Structure 1
Amino acid sequence: MPSRVRYQIVFLALVIDMISYMDRVCISVAAPAMRTEFGFSPTRMGAVFSIFSLSYFLLQAPWGMLADRYGARGIVATAILLWSGFTALTSMAWNYASLLVTRLLFGASEAALSPSIASAYGRWIPVSERSTAFGAFLSGGRIGGAMAPPVAAWILARHGWRAMFLAFAGLGAAWSVVWWAYYRNHPREHPGVTEAELKVIEAGGRSGQVQEERTSLADQGGS
C-alpha cells in the first residue's frame, strides 16, 4: 500500500500560501489606523502597497533558481522566517521611510514561495497529479485572503495595528519550523515514504495508465 506523504506536503504548502496571503493582506486593514498615526496621504499609502509588488516581481526568478539548486526545504523555511521577520518589523515602523523599507523586503522574501513550491512539486508530485496539487496550493492564498480581513480587524480593534502584525508574524515563524521538520528535498530522504509511493512518484503517476494502454493494445492485436 503506497504511503501518502506527498499529499501531506501539498497540505503543508497550502497552509504556507494561506499564511503568506494573510501576511500581505493584513496591511490593508491596518492602513486607516497607520495613516492616522503617521499622517500619510493616500498617495504615500499607495506607494507602500505598490513597493511590495515591485520586489516580489523582481525576485521570483532568482528565488526559483536557488530552489532548483539547493532544494525547497531550506529555501522555503528561510523565506518564511524572513517575511515573518519583516512583518514583525512592520509593527515597529516609525516613519514613512521605515515602512517602505520593511514592505520592500517583505515582498522580496515572499517572492520565494511560488517558485520554490513549483520546484518541490517537480520532485515530489507525479505529473498526473501536479496540476491538482498546484491548484490546491493556490487555493491556500484565496483562503488566506478571505480570512485575513476579519481576523486582522479583530486583533486591531482589541490590541492595535502593531500587535496585529506581530500576531501574523508569529504564525508564519511557527509554520516555518513545521515545514523544515517534515519536508525533505527528495522523496527517498523522507522516512515516511514507502517503496510503493516512491515508485508512483518516480513513474510520474502514470503506471496505471501505461498498463491500461498496453492491455488495450494487446486486446487489439489479438482481435
Structure 2
Amino acid sequence: MMMLLRNLTYQLASRASNALAWCRASLQGVSLGRGAVISLGADVAKASYLGQVQVARDVRIGFGSYINSGLIDSGEIGCWCAIGYNVQIGPWEHDTQQVSMSPVFMRRFYPAAKPEADQPPPPQIGHDVWIGSGVIVLRGVTIGDGAVVAAGSVVTRDVDAYSVVGGVPARFIKPRFAKQTQLELAQMALESALRSIVTTS
C-alpha cells in the first residue's frame, strides 16, 4: 500500500511538473511533439523542436536545434543541431569499481554516498552538429561545431569540429571540409553566421 501511495504521488508530481515545463517552453517558442517530457530545470531555446524525447533538468538546448526522440540526461547542445531518433546523451554511468553496479545496493549499503559527484562532467555538443539515430554520447565528451556522428555510434571521446565519426566506439572517418575551409569557419562566430543566413533569406 505504501508503495502504491508513493508511486501515485510521484506520478502526480511528475505530470504537474511536466505540464508547467510544457507551458513555459511553448511560451518561449519551442515546438513540442506529443511525447516530449521536459524537466522544469531544463533550458530550451526558442525555434527548437522536441519530439518523443525526455529532457532532464540542467540540460541546455540551443536555438533552432531539433531532437526526434531519445533521452537527454545531461549536457549542453548548441544551436542548429540535428539529432535523430533514439539518441541518448549524457546517460548516468555505473561505478564498475563497486562489488555490485546496481543502484539498489548503493542506496542500501552506502546511504550517505553521493554518486553524482563521481560522475564524469556532462557532454558538450557544439553548434550545427548532426547526430544520427541510435547514437549514445557518453559523459565527459565534447563534440565540436559542425561534426557528424554516424547512426548507431557510441561516442566515448572528444570529436573534432567539422569531422565525421562513426562506429563502436566512434572513430574518425573523414573531415567534412578541407583544412583551409575549417580554419575559415573556425574564425567565424558560427552561431551568429547561421542566424544571419536565416534572417536575410
TM-score higher than 0.5: no
Q: TM-score, normalised by structure 2?
A: 0.31
Structure with the larger helix share: 1
Structure with the larger strand share: 2
Greater RCO structure (CA 8 Å; 6+ sep): 1
- Bigger radius of gyration among the two: 1
